[in-house]
Chain A
Amino acid sequence: DAKTTQPPSMDCAEGRAANLPCNHSTISGNEYVYWYRQIHSQGPQYIIHGLKNNETNEMASLIITEDRKSSTLILPHATLRDTAVYYCIVRVPLRTGANNLFFGTGTRLTVIP
């Protein structure tokens, strides 16, 4: 029972915006959407998270639809170093303040020179 659905792969030209979609139709009302990425053979790197408003930080922007059933991660000017697997995550609570992360299979983004 997939908690999130992402396309398996995407290409993006260097310098262009990369838009990575995610469906999370079963998300509960107070659950945050998190995005991580994993560059080959390294640990996952936190990118951004949001609840219902759009969010932006130094790495990316996150657009969440009004019904919260889907979101899009935007890397505004993709570089070769952004080539990685990107995971959209909905968490399952373990106890107050701790959650289990379900990474799924993610989207393999390849930035092309």
Chain B
Amino acid sequence: DVKVTQSSRYLVKRTGEKVFLECVQDMDHENMFWYRQDPGLGLRLIYFSYDVKMKEKGDIPEGYSVSREKKERFSLILESASTNQTSMYLCASSSVAGTDYQETQYFGPGTRLLVL
């Protein structure tokens, strides 16, 4: 059973604070992703990583950074939290399987962040 865990289910922070969201997967997956989910906007990709220390920007990277020092762990950092970063943050991981690249992403439970 694939397990993706996120450090917090709910988080309340103040504007300007530095915020760390952590994600851990136990399936030795190469890929890890950070999305945010907002009503009416679906999921939007912030960053993803395809290997240790490797990262690529998604659709909305502004105001965020990421870190992947170990294969199982992918951190999302809000350098200076703002109210428009209030959202549900979802981490996912996946493995590239075989030659069909049937890449299936498995999600964590999500972190609901409120920035005041």
User: A residues within 8 Å of B by Cβ?
Assistant: 32, 34, 36, 41-46, 49, 91, 94-105
Closest B residue by C-beta to A102 = B42
Report if B116 contacts A (CB, 8 A): no
Q: With a CB–CB cut-off of 8 A, which chain B residues contact A49?
A: 102, 104
User: B residues within 8 Å of A by Cβ?
Assistant: 4, 30-31, 33, 35, 37, 40, 42-43, 45, 48, 50, 56, 58-59, 90, 92, 94, 96, 101-110, 112
**Cβ contact of B110, chosen from A43, A46, A103, cutoff 8 A:** A43
Do residues A43 and B109 form an inter-chain contact, with CB atoms below 8 A? yes
Q: How distant is the Cα of A49 from the Cα of B58 in the complex, in angstroms?
A: 23
Do residues A98 and B107 form an inter-chain contact, with CB atoms below 8 A? no
Do residues B106 and A98 form an inter-chain contact, with CB atoms below 8 A? no
Do residues A99 and B103 form an inter-chain contact, with CB atoms below 8 A? yes
Main DSSP-derived SS at the B contact region: strand
Q: With a CB–CB cut-off of 8 A, which chain B residues contact A103?
A: 37, 42-43
Residue picked from A34, A42, A100, most chain B C-beta under 10 Å: A100
Q: A49-B102, A102-B43, A104-B42 are in contact. Are A97 and B30 (CB under 8 A)?
A: yes
Closest B residue by C-beta to A98 = B31
> What is the minimal beta-carbon distance from A27 to any residue of chain B, in angstroms?
15
**Cβ contact of A100, chosen from B59, B90, B106, B112, cutoff 8 A:** B59
